[in-house]
Amino acid sequence: MRKGLLRELAGGKPLWVRAVDGVDLDIRRGEVFCLVGESGCGKTSTGKAILKLVEATDGDILLEMPEGEARAYEDVRQRPDDPEARKTLDGLRRKYSVTWKESLPWTVEQALKSAGAFLAAVFLAIVAPSLLLAAVVEPFGDPWSTIGLCVSIGLILGLIGSLPPTRLSRRTRVILTLLALGSIIVAPISALSLHRALVGDVSRFDVGAALATPWTQELAAMLVGFAFGAIAAGGSSSLLLDWRSRSEGMAGIHMRSIRRRLQLIFQDPYESLNPKQSVYEIVSEPLAVNRISTNPGETSALVREALTDVGLRPPEEFLFRFPHELSGGQRQRVSIAAALVLQPDFIVADEPVSMLDVSIRTEILQVMMELRTRRGITYLFITHDLSLAWVLADRIAVMYLGKIVEMGTTEQVIGHPMHPYTKALISVVPSPDPRHKVERIILKGERPDPSDIPPGCRFHPRCPFAFERCGWTAEEVADQLRSLKAGGMLATASGVDLSDAGNVRLSMGGGGPDALVRELNALVSERRETLLPLKGIAAVHATNGFVELSLHASSEPPLLEIEPGNSVACHLVSPPATVSESLTA
Amino acid sequence: MPTLLEVRDLTIEFRTKAGIVHAVEGASFNVERGEAMGLAGESGCGKTTTALALMRLLPYNGRIVRGSISFEGRDLVPVPEDSMRAIRWKEMSIVFQGAMNSLNPVQRVGRQIAEPIMLHEEAEPEASFKRAGDLLELVGISRNRLNDYPHEFSGGMRQRVMIAMALACNPKLVIADEPVTALDVMIQAQILDLLERLRRELHLAMILISHDLSVLADTCEQVTIMYAGKTMESGKTMDLFTDPKHPYTQGLVGAFPDIRGPRNMPEAIPGDVPSLISPPSGCVFHPRCKFAFDRCTKAEPALTELSVGRRAACFLYPQVTEVPPRPIAITEV
Ligand SMILES: Nc1ncnc2c1ncn2[C@@H]1O[C@H](COP(=O)(O)OP(=O)(O)OP(=O)(O)O)[C@@H](O)[C@H]1O
Ligand code: SF4
Ligand SMILES: [Mg+2]
């Protein structure tokens, strides 16, 4: 897992997920997005990284990022070396990322800056208004206490404003300012009226009369308090938030509210439930942990509602059962209920039905889909079962070795697959209708090693369509030649090895260089369609006593949008733009 | 030549503290030479129990109550244990459910394959190891890996090893119990491909057990559908899948999404699998059947031939007869 990013655009707009090696998955609100691939391809880590159950080594999970800023984010991420872009990027991350921690060392400059900000805030909030007031307004009654009151209210509000789970946004500032203004207007009035009431005739005290008296001084005091109180509130809150996001990252500030909105359903209904807890305890636990409900009556109502939602009806019948008293399907429903009780709007479901029998499986899927219609829940559905993805997903991303190789709508990806890996995967999915027979493309090998990712296209060693620029390495070509030699071919060579420079080098047998070069060339043109590594050979040349091969240059195919909404990472599938470029070139 | 395997009215019980588990009742099917027969049904319907009974490997608390298992014309039910040794593994072998995860982790794979060969065929160690190497190559693994430990093998390769072990004594019939469950789809395809190749090359008969109908649809000629220990329907794969007769088969076929079909959400079969200790009266499926009528709750439908090679146990078909009431089994407690 290299990079992970989840981005949710507010209010009915898309929810984007970027996960694994810098590729965007954009998930729209209320849709079912399926992540498919073989086990070990990184599906589960992606899901977990999104929920912050594992730390992504790099990258962002960004929440509620407006479209415009999302584009800016994309743009500046392309230019990591540009200091200006870096600054914008950090700014955006500070605002939306839940994974990002600002790693600013405490340099002298940094310390001075913070101290300066603090002094400025103190000056603005306390010293400046006092000086101003002393100069402009003739001291009366006790204006200091009035101003002091305003300022302290501002500071307190600022402090409250920076506490979790508030997120740093424009909204926060507006709310804070309004709150400050409100209290600042009310506070001096009541203070002054009280003063009047205490000093003057007690029987004449009423707010209307107090307001009706000419009060230039009070008005001036109020206006000053008004302005500086607000500044104090805004200043202290952003100072505090800034300090906190530096020390804990936005993650620390947000995670509680995010945990609640994003939920995970696990694969194994037998392992994910604690056998010693009753259904009630299991489902109510998240409520307690997230401090959503501590009132037993309310908790019980929420638990019942969640159980009813997942079809465990009547809930009373299940509340006090233990997992071993439930069927597999019922257990899985309990884990869904435990996720639902927090009313999330995004659920990561990691193989939620793969352990279940078919009839129960359908029931669980129906429950999940019904909840999507009723509550607008968005699903990231992780599965290795493509036929399930076919009927469930709105859009699909196919992963191979931690990278998205194809992504698009279900019709695009399964109906018309373009990446060779997708094609192969789909061809081997069995169908319950024996009339639907297709030619199966069975790939060789299993579960590739994620710690040893092949160069070029990471799928090339298993790809039945791999060609010149897919990333053949000298070892692969040498191995192929060795096995040919072991099979009795290449009689004119005495050995195949790698030169110091890492090139494939054949040592001469009896026939001399020309014979070997000729035999190699013939072999390559004859066998290249079946022995794909031979396609990597660009040229064969004789150099002092050896025959050396040079290989085709290769590159990793980027994930490119081939059709609107459909992206593929394969050299065979070039987007229209690249084709026309290469035609003109 | 007699049919390779002919199972008739096979009935198996388990004795437990909670009562008698009627795990399999009246199972009947045939397997021809070189043919693959699929056994399908939801979890707990008695697939594994049937397979173990065929091998005469039921656990201590299980017993065959009645019925016959005739293998090449000889009934295996009354065969004493020591004569069973001449048949088990040599004539008929099994790849146990989940066994790929129970290879001995501290013993080299080659040894684990060779040891049973020494035992069953009384072969010399050297010949046994050579045979183990041949077997590995037969299932698509290089013989260089004889000295590896199981953890050095991936899931798919361990399953290949299990298949190699089942083939060690050249059996005529191999039972594969959920051979591809929990494997990735590409590895599933590799294993199924291997089984099909072995079947062709060695002219093996096979009983393929799976809860996943799709797996059987692709690989078997015949399919038998079980539910709660009873056989609901059997027939040629093509007929059974394209025109299922029994309501349970219909439900089961409709419950699988089809990647090559329309994008319809599959249909659920409402309700739960019944208890096998006190199964429902009449047709075991009646509590979940949307066509159930009066007769279904009272009498039990017998597995009856509807057309050539096609049998079902459901009263919706007028020719289906009733199972005669059985004498109450007297089981000592
Ligand atoms: N040793 C045993 N003692 C008691 N009951 C048993 C025993 N073995 C199996 N059973 C019961 O017999 C019934 C059939 O079990 P079996 O293992 O044959 O099912 P299956 O069809 O293979 O299911 P699965 O698809 O889950 O493997 C089940 O109800 C099971 O609980
Ligand atoms: S016999 Fe009756 S209950 Fe059983 S499957 Fe047929 S219609 Fe349904
Ligand atoms: Mg079983």
Q: What 3 state SS string does A280-301 have? A: HHHHHHHHHHCCCCCCHHHHHH
Q: Which of the pair, B275 or B173, is modelled with greater confidence? A: B173
Q: Is A384 on the interface with B (CB under 8 A)?
A: yes
Tell me the nearest-neighbour CA distance from B294 into chain A, angstroms: 25
Same domain, B185 and B273: yes
Chosen domain end from B144, B170, B196: B170
Same domain, B268 and B145: no
Which band of pLDDT confidence, cut at 50, 70 and 90, is reported for residue B115? confident
Residue B129 CA to residue B118 CA, distance in Å, equals 9
Residue A47 belongs to what H/E stretch?
helix A43-50
Specify the pLDDT at position A15.
Answer: 45
Which band of pLDDT confidence, cut at 50, 70 and 90, is reported for residue A180? low
Q: Is A449 on the interface with B (CB under 8 A)?
A: no
Q: Residue A435, exposed/middle/buried by CB under 10 A (0-12, 13-18, 19+)?
A: exposed
Q: Is A432 on the interface with B (CB under 8 A)?
A: yes
What count of CB pairs under 8 Å joins A to B?
133
Highest-confidence range of A118-122, A336-340, B5-9, by mean pLDDT? B5-9
Evaluate if residue A214 carries a pLDDT over 80. no
Q: What is the CATH number of the domain that holds B64?
A: 3.40.50.300
Residue B77 lies in a domain: yes
Specify the pLDDT at position A9.
Answer: 31
Specify the pLDDT at position A181.
Answer: 59
Q: What SS3 class is residue A6?
A: strand
Q: Is B242 on the interface with A (CB under 8 A)?
A: yes
Evaluate if residue B157 carries a pLDDT over 50. yes
Cis bond leading into A461, ω under 30°? no
Evaluate if residue B142 carries a pLDDT over 70. yes
Put the strands of the sheet holding A537-543 in their side by side order: A493-498, A504-508, A546-551, A537-543
Which band of pLDDT confidence, cut at 50, 70 and 90, is reported for residue A493? confident
Evaluate if residue A231 carries a pLDDT over 70. no
Average pLDDT of A292-312? 84
Evaluate if residue A92 carries a pLDDT over 60. yes
Least trusted range by pLDDT, from A63-77, A392-406, A486-500, A569-583: A569-583
Evaluate if residue A225 carries a pLDDT over 70. no
Same domain, B166 and B288: no
Q: Which of the pair, B131 or A2, is modelled with greater confidence? A: B131
Contact A429 B186 (CB under 8 A): no
Among all residues of chain B, which has the CA nearest to that of A438?
B260
Same domain, B286 and B268: yes
Average pLDDT of A378-383? 87
| Max CA separation in chain A (angstroms) | 125
Average pLDDT of A376-402? 89
Q: Is A428 on the interface with B (CB under 8 A)?
A: yes
Specify the pLDDT at position A169.
Answer: 42
Architecture per CATH, domain A258-383, reads as 3-Layer(aba) Sandwich (3.40)
Average pLDDT of A126-149? 53
Q: Which of B172, B216, B138, B164 is nearest to B1 (CA)?
A: B172
Structure tokens at A231: 């500044």
Give the residue from A331, A359, A392 with the most B CB atoms within 10 Å of its CB, the best one to mutate. A359
Tell me the nearest-neighbour CA distance from A522 into chain B, angstroms: 30
Average pLDDT of A13-26? 49
Residue B318 lies in a domain: no
Please tell me the distance between residue B268's alpha carbon and the centre of ligand 1 in angstroms: 23
Residue A24 CA to residue A44 CA, distance in Å, equals 16
Give the residue from A34, A313, A357, A358 with the most B CB atoms within 10 Å of its CB, the best one to mutate. A358
Alpha-carbon distances, residue A367 vs A264, A270, A352, B55 (angstroms): 16, 19, 12, 41
Which band of pLDDT confidence, cut at 50, 70 and 90, is reported for residue B153? confident
Please tell me the distance between residue B274's alpha carbon and the centre of ligand 3 in angstroms: 17
Q: What SS3 class is residue A503?
A: coil
Same domain, B188 and B267: yes
Same domain, B153 and B74: no
Identify the bridge partners of residue A97 per DSSP, sorted by sequence position: A62
Least trusted range by pLDDT, from A63-67, A134-138, A307-311, A557-561: A134-138
Structure tokens at A151: 């300022």
Residue bearing the CA closest to ligand 2, atom 6: B314
Place of tokens 């150099």: A543
Specify the pLDDT at position A49.
Answer: 64
Among all residues of chain A, which has the CA nearest to that of B262?
A391
Residue B327 lies in a domain: no
Question: In this structure, are residues B37 and B4 in contact, taking their beta carbons and an 8 Å threshold?
Answer: no
Specify the pLDDT at position B227.
Answer: 94
Counting atoms of ligand 2 from 1, which one is nearest the CA of B301?
1
Counting atoms of ligand 2 from 1, which one is nearest the CA of B289?
8
Structure tokens at A532: 């794909």
Structure tokens at A547: 């025959």
State the helix-helix crossing angle for A170-199 and A143-161, rounded to 10 degrees: 150
Q: Residue A171, exposed/middle/buried by CB under 10 A (0-12, 13-18, 19+)?
A: exposed
Q: Which of A318, A298, A329, A310 is nearest to A374 (CA)?
A: A310
Q: Which of the pair, A306 or A167, is modelled with greater confidence? A: A306
Phi, psi (rounded to 5 degrees) for B174: -120, 130
- A269 contact partners, CB below 8 Å, separation of at least 6: A328, A329, A331, A332, A334, A335, A355, A356
- Over residues B34-49, the pLDDT tens digits come to 999 999 998 888 999 9
Residue A352 CA to residue A332 CA, distance in Å, equals 8
Specify the pLDDT at position B92.
Answer: 94
Q: Which of A353, A304, A296, A309 is nearest to A329 (CA)?
A: A353
The ligand 2 site (C-beta within 6 Å) comprises B 246-247, 283, 285-286, 289, 291-292, 296, 301, 314-316
Structure tokens at A281: 């305890």
Q: What SS3 class is residue B245?
A: coil
Question: In this structure, are residues A405 and A569 in contact, taking their beta carbons and an 8 Å threshold?
Answer: yes
Specify the pLDDT at position B311.
Answer: 94
Please tell me the distance between residue A475's alpha carbon and the centre of ligand 3 in angstroms: 45
Specify the pLDDT at position B197.
Answer: 93
Same domain, B272 and B131: no
Evaluate if residue A301 carries a pLDDT over 50. yes
Specify the pLDDT at position A116.
Answer: 67
Helices assigned H by DSSP within A376-511: 386-392, 410, 420-428, 474-486
Q: Which letter does DSSP use for residue A569 in this model?
A: -
Q: Residue A378, exposed/middle/buried by CB under 10 A (0-12, 13-18, 19+)?
A: buried
Tell me the nearest-neighbour CA distance from B181 into chain A, angstroms: 10
Same domain, B123 and B232: no
Which band of pLDDT confidence, cut at 50, 70 and 90, is reported for residue B14? very high
Same domain, B259 and B176: yes
- Over residues A408-453, the pLDDT tens digits come to 999 999 999 999 999 999 999 998 888 888 888 988 877 677 777 7
Residues from chain B contacting residue A447 (CB–CB below 8 Å): 154-155, 184
Beta pairing, strands A546-551 & A537-543: antiparallel
Architecture per CATH, domain A472-551, reads as 2-Layer Sandwich (3.30)
ipTM of the modeled complex: 0.88
Q: Residue A173, exposed/middle/buried by CB under 10 A (0-12, 13-18, 19+)?
A: middle
Q: Is A65 on the interface with B (CB under 8 A)?
A: no
Specify the pLDDT at position B296.
Answer: 93
Average pLDDT of A491-497? 76
Per the rule left: phi > 0, alpha: psi between -120 and 50, beta: everything else, B170 is: left
Question: In this structure, are residues B12 and B50 in contact, taking their beta carbons and an 8 Å threshold?
Answer: yes
Among all residues of chain B, which has the CA nearest to that of A391?
B263
Question: In this structure, are residues B37 and B221 in contact, taking their beta carbons and an 8 Å threshold?
Answer: yes
Residue B262 CA to residue B250 CA, distance in Å, equals 17
Average pLDDT of B6-22? 91
Same domain, B212 and B280: yes
Q: Which letter does DSSP use for residue A277 in this model?
A: S
If one residue of B15, B16, B21 were mutated to test the ligand 1 pocket, choosing by the most ligand atoms within 8 A of its CB, it would be B21
- Say if ligand 1 is within 6 A of residue B16 CB: yes
**Residue of A369, A429, A432 lying closest to B213 (CB–CB):** A432
Alpha-carbon distances, residue A60 vs A27, A97, A245 (angstroms): 16, 6, 15
Question: In this structure, are residues A467 and A538 in contact, taking their beta carbons and an 8 Å threshold?
Answer: no
Evaluate if residue A5 carries a pLDDT over 90. no
Which band of pLDDT confidence, cut at 50, 70 and 90, is reported for residue A288? confident
Same domain, B300 and B200: yes
Specify the pLDDT at position A154.
Answer: 59
- B268 contact partners, CB below 8 Å, separation of at least 6: A359, A360, A362, A363, A366, B255
Evaluate if residue B13 carries a pLDDT over 90. yes
Per the rule left: phi > 0, alpha: psi between -120 and 50, beta: everything else, A351 is: left
**Residue of B157, B188, B260 lying closest to A431 (CB–CB):** B260
Which band of pLDDT confidence, cut at 50, 70 and 90, is reported for residue B139? very high
Alpha-carbon distances, residue B241 vs A140, A433, B210, B248, B269 (angstroms): 96, 6, 15, 12, 17
Q: Which of the pair, B144 or A138, is modelled with greater confidence? A: B144
Contact B253 A432 (CB under 8 A): yes
Residue A175 CA to residue B189 CA, distance in Å, equals 60
- Over residues A252-280, the pLDDT tens digits come to 555 556 666 777 776 666 667 888 888 99
Question: In this structure, are residues A490 and A519 in contact, taking their beta carbons and an 8 Å threshold?
Answer: yes
Rg, chain B, Cα only: 21
Among all residues of chain B, which has the CA nearest to that of A425?
B186
Contact B242 A369 (CB under 8 A): no
Evaluate if residue A173 carries a pLDDT over 80. no
Q: Containing domain of residue B53, as a range?
A: 5-91+172-312
Alpha-carbon distances, residue B135 vs B87, B90, B179, B198 (angstroms): 20, 15, 18, 11
Q: Which letter does DSSP use for residue A58 in this model?
A: B
- B128 contact partners, CB below 8 Å, separation of at least 6: B114, B115, B117, B118, B121
Number of residues assigned to chain A:
585
Residue B70 lies in a domain: yes
Per the rule left: phi > 0, alpha: psi between -120 and 50, beta: everything else, B140 is: left
Specify the pLDDT at position A424.
Answer: 93
**Residue of B192, B211, B267 lying closest to A357 (CB–CB):** B211
Question: In this structure, are residues A3 and A58 in contact, taking their beta carbons and an 8 Å threshold?
Answer: yes
Please tell me the distance between residue B178's alpha carbon and the centre of ligand 3 in angstroms: 7
**What one-character-per-residue DSSP string does A211-236 give?**
HHS--HHHHHHHHHHHHHHHHHHHHH
Alpha-carbon distances, residue A326 vs A69, A281, A351, B274, B286 (angstroms): 48, 15, 20, 13, 22
Residue A26 CA to residue B270 CA, distance in Å, equals 35
Please tell me the distance between residue A227's alpha carbon and the centre of ligand 1 in angstroms: 78
- End-to-end Cα separation, chain B, in angstroms: 43
Q: Which of the pair, A458 or A252, is modelled with greater confidence? A: A458
Q: What SS3 class is residue B220?
A: coil
Give the residue from A330, A431, A447 with the most B CB atoms within 10 Å of its CB, the best one to mutate. A431
Residue B48 lies in a domain: yes
Break chain A into its structural domains and give their ranges: 108-247, 258-383, 472-551
Rg, chain A, Cα only: 33
Residue B180 lies in a domain: yes
Specify the pLDDT at position A289.
Answer: 76
Same domain, B259 and B123: no
Contact A358 B212 (CB under 8 A): yes
Residue bearing the CA closest to ligand 2, atom 7: B292
Contact A431 B252 (CB under 8 A): no
Q: Which of A483, A488, A474, A480 is nearest to A548 (CA)?
A: A474
Q: Residue A351, exposed/middle/buried by CB under 10 A (0-12, 13-18, 19+)?
A: buried
Q: Scan residues 30-59 of B and list those with Cβ closer than 8 Å to A.
A: 42-43
Which band of pLDDT confidence, cut at 50, 70 and 90, is reported for residue A403? confident
Contact B214 A361 (CB under 8 A): no
Mean pLDDT of chain A: 72
Evaluate if residue B69 carries a pLDDT over 90. yes
Structural domains counted in chain B: 2
Q: Residue A317, exposed/middle/buried by CB under 10 A (0-12, 13-18, 19+)?
A: exposed
